[in-house]
Copies of this chain bind each other. A is one copy, B any other.
Amino acid sequence: MAFFVVAVMVVIGVAVCGKPASKPVDQKPDPVFGITIPAGYRDWKLISVAHEAGNLNDLRAVLGNDLAIRAYRDRKAPFPDGAIIARLAWAYVPSEENNKVFGRAQSFVTGSPTNIQFMVKDAKRYAATGGWGFAQFEDGEPAAAAVGRSCYACHQPVEDRDFVFTKYAP
């Protein structure tokens, strides 16, 4: 879940935009790792979901491409080259419609997309950062270099899980 340090999130703010986060593939790559938005990521399989409160205040889904999902299910670490993990996030919004049905204020749903993040495994290319490249996009645009540069340090506490925080939700 905590793909990127909150300090960076505060600096860059959380872009809540009206447009879909899933954009065509011909994108500017991120300035640190050269990652572009992977084609078809919105259709990838679900790893897990989460809620970040505080400044992020989002609901998020973590998806994986087939290589990533297979590694999760086989409980194999490290992840193989080519594995990609995507973190989608949306504003955390109360649902008046749902609350009416439940008869109480308890329901929170997804609002506008905030940003999307990717971890791309390439043991050689990204050897200096645990074999992972990191990228964040807001409304299709890559985040500033400072964002990507901050990722690896925060992922080090979970080195024994190949630097991946999110666990597979059965």
On A, residues with C-beta under 8 Å from B are 1-2, 5-7, 19-22, 42-43, 45-46, 48-56, 59-61, 63, 69, 88, 90, 92, 95, 97-98, 100-104, 106-110, 113, 154, 157-158, 165-167, 169-170
If A6-B104, A22-B170, A54-B102 touch, whether A48 touches B97 (CB-CB below 8 Å) is no
Q: Complex Cα distance A102/B51, Å?
A: 13
Q: Complex Cα distance A92/B53, Å?
A: 13
The residue in chain B whose Cβ has the minimal distance to the Cβ of A100 is B157
- Please determine whether A1 and B98 come into contact, CB atoms closer than 8 angstroms: yes
Report, nearest first, the 5 A-B pairs whose CB atoms are least far apart. Answer: A20-B170, A54-B106, A110-B169, A2-B101, A53-B106
Residue among B21, B46, B109 making CB contact with A170, cutoff 8 Å? B21
- Please determine whether A170 and B104 come into contact, CB atoms closer than 8 angstroms: no
The residue in chain B whose Cβ has the minimal distance to the Cβ of A104 is B54
A92 CB to closest chain B CB (Å) equals 8
Could you give 14 example pairs across A and B, Cβ below 8 Å? A2-B98, A5-B101, A19-B170, A20-B170, A43-B69, A45-B45, A46-B61, A49-B60, A52-B106, A52-B108, A54-B104, A54-B106, A90-B169, A98-B165
